[in-house]
Amino acid sequence: MIDQRLDKDWKHTLKKELTSQHIICVGISSMTGPQITGGIEAARIIRKTSPTVPIVWGGVHPSLLPEEAIKNEFVDIVVIGDGEETFRELVEVLKNGGDKKSVKGIIYKHGNSVTRTPTRRQFPINTFDELAYDLIDVEKYKSSPLWTSKRSLPIITSRGCPYRCAYCYNTAFSNQKWISLSAEQTVLLILDIVKRYHVSGVFLLDDNFFVDLKRVKKICEFLIAERLNISIYNGNCRVDTIVKMDDALLTLIKKAGFDQLYLGVESGSNDVLKKIKKDITVEQVLIGNRMLKRANIIPFYSFMAGFPFETIEDIKSTLALMNCLLKENPEAIVYKLQLFTPFPGTELFNHTSRLGMKFPQSLEEWATFHYDRINYDGFSHKHKKFLENINYYTMFLDQKMLSDLSGYLKLFSSLYSKLLKFRIDRGVYSLMCELYLLNLGRNIRNRLFRRC
């Protein structure tokens, strides 16, 4: 297993693996966006070093656009959806010279034609006996979540999400289905991770950990009984789920070690929330924020702007809500305002396509598709400029996000944070002269990074 993020000499490692033993195939996994660039770069090396070795792509992006991905010269086979069963069966077929048609959930080239096999079910992750952590250097994956000193490892205890958010890839990738480890399996996994690798925390990567509150309660009770005294971060939850909880359950969650919950709020406009099918209200967000404050659980909030039907006033409402959450709960973490990205397979992808937006038509082109830029081109110049500015200057709204700054930079960010909150409180966004200095600093930073 080669991780391009961690292995600085991954090209050498890849070439060495390709030439040191018999290779059945090479798998490349990628989400939509910049990961594709690394995947293509690796595939070129594979093709040049071992021209006959099949290159198998999988992961979110190839699964959402398999017919487009298979057209690429560096893609021989695409595994669609969860890969645990599919990839294992595919490797056996390739190893034994069998018929790829027998493997469900793939699309592959056959001469000048392309064949897609029947769809495979979502993989039941509760059938795993033991995860093969011995295949990687686990030490390299230990990290400390923001504002903590506790060493943690990431885990996944469930997949998918049953909700219908119009911007989320899960509606297509997992078809709004949610599957999980049992409460007992989840706790055994956490126990194994903590004891085997001597960590004091786990970082949840579940799409939505809190779908089944009865399961959550059992997990918390088991963890408390084990007296692990660990911290659990990034518990992905929904605001409407929080408001369904009573104080007793929130207290139990906190006692079990859930120090931080991740909550996607997205917008401060009820109209926008309705159109993106978030199925929450601004009032629920405010109630949930107060409930989490009482329970001493830190909420980590994320927001988006740049929806095609969103007005500047809607965006200002979002800014006002971000500021209000920090006022009412100073321990809350509010991340900068992200730019909406119509990812393939989502309802809003189809919506923006009908509005005339042009999308990439090849695997390589999708590599430049990223959520840190405006991807919808139907806005006026004024609207676009406002979006670009808030994407940058909301980085200064929550000073906890810039706690690692020092000296003059820390002083400047603190002063600007106060000015920004003043503007948001009063709805004053004209004559923002300070943006000149901010943009100047951003341009200097970008030039320095390019030189590096």
User: Measuring CA to CA, which residue among 321, 300, 314 is closest to residue 425?
Assistant: 321
Could you give the 3-state DSSP secondary structure of residue 426? helix
Structure tokens at 376: 């919808």
**H helix or E strand, kind and range, residue 47:** helix 35-49
448, burial (CB in 10 Å: exposed 0-12, middle 13-18, buried 19+): exposed
pLDDT by residue (tens digit) across 187-202? 999 999 999 999 999 9
pLDDT of residue 270: 98
pLDDT of residue 407: 75
The two most distant CA atoms of the chain are separated, in Å, by 70
8-state DSSP, 50? -
CA distance to 67, 72, 356, per residue, from 53 (Å): 21, 16, 40
Residue range 10-116 in CATH 1.10.3720.10: no
User: Measuring CA to CA, which residue among 300, 415, 363 is closest to residue 62?
Assistant: 363
Query: Per the CATH hierarchy, to which homologous superfamily does domain 125-388 belong?
Result: tm_1862 like domain (3.80.30.20)
* Residues 176 and 142 sit within 8 Å (Cβ to Cβ): no
Alpha helices in 169-311 (DSSP H): 170-173, 183-197, 213-226, 239-242, 247-255, 270-275, 282-295
| Cβ partners under 8 Å of residue 449, min gap 6 | none
pLDDT of residue 426: 87
Say how many residues make up the chain. Answer: 452
pLDDT by residue (tens digit) across 371-407? 677 877 789 999 998 998 888 889 889 988 877 777 7
* Residues 248 and 220 sit within 8 Å (Cβ to Cβ): no
CATH 3.80.30.20 intervals, the chain: 125-388
Q: Averaged in consecutive runs of 10 residues, what is the pLDDT profile of the chain (452 residues)?
A: 95 95 95 95 97 97 97 98 96 97 97 95 87 90 79 94 95 94 96 93 96 98 93 96 97 96 98 98 98 97 95 96 97 94 93 90 90 79 90 88 75 84 86 64 54 47
DSSP sequence for 120-167: PPPP-GGG-----GGGS-GGGG-B--TT----EEEE--EE--S---TT
pLDDT of residue 402: 79
Q: What's at 184, amino acid-wise?
A: E
Q: What's at 297, amino acid-wise?
A: I
pLDDT of residue 147: 65
What percent of the chain lies above the pLDDT cut of 90?
A: 77
Q: Which long-range contacts (CB under 8 A, 24 or more apart) does 8-12 make?
A: 10/42, 11/45
Distance of alpha carbon 178 from the chain centroid? 17
- The reported pTM is 0.91
Structure tokens at 276: 């993106």
Mean pLDDT for the chain overall: 91
Could you count the other beta carbons within 10 Å of the beta carbon of residue 176? 15
pLDDT by residue (tens digit) across 117-143? 999 999 999 987 778 888 999 999 998
Q: How far apart, in whole angstroms, are the C-alpha atoms of residue 417 and residue 346? A: 35
pLDDT of residue 452: 45
CATH 3.40.50.280 intervals, the chain: 10-116
